[in-house]
Amino acid sequence: MIYIKNIGIIGSFGLRSHKQHLCDASPWPLILSLVLFGVTSGFVMIFRNSVLPSVLILTILVGFFWGSDIVSEGSYLGIHISVVSDSILISIKIFIFSEVMFFVGFF
């Protein structure tokens, strides 16, 4: 990677002169959605043919690799600056709060 003074880091994610994080193309969301689509479409076959352990392992592996990409973007590549990290944390908190309010609405 090349670092230019007062501009930022230039790498595969391009020249960044703003504080937002634009993701590179990643295969993990597509792979995970295909795996989970296979789970929902073949739900009965999964339990009959005892494929459930392999599907669970595949789902956990894809989630692990996707998470390791996020950690490497933030830690090693330096893409997640403090503003981006704060906004990710706030969005996680808002999501958890909305889920709590959703379940409170039932009771």
- The burial class, CB within 10 Å (0-12 / 13-18 / 19+), for 58 is middle
- What are the boundaries of each domain within the chain? 26-78
Q: In the chain, what percentage of residues exceed pLDDT 70? A: 74
What is the tens place of the pLDDT at every residue in 16-66? 566 666 666 788 889 889 888 888 877 777 777 777 778 888 889 998 998
Q: Which residues contact 39 (CB under 8 A, 6 or more apart)?
A: 46, 55, 59
Q: Tell me, what's the pLDDT at 1?
A: 46
Phi-psi region of 94 (alpha: psi -120 to 50; beta: other; left: phi over 0): alpha
Query: What is the average pLDDT value for the chain, to the nearest integer?
Result: 77
Q: Tell me, what's the pLDDT at 50?
A: 74
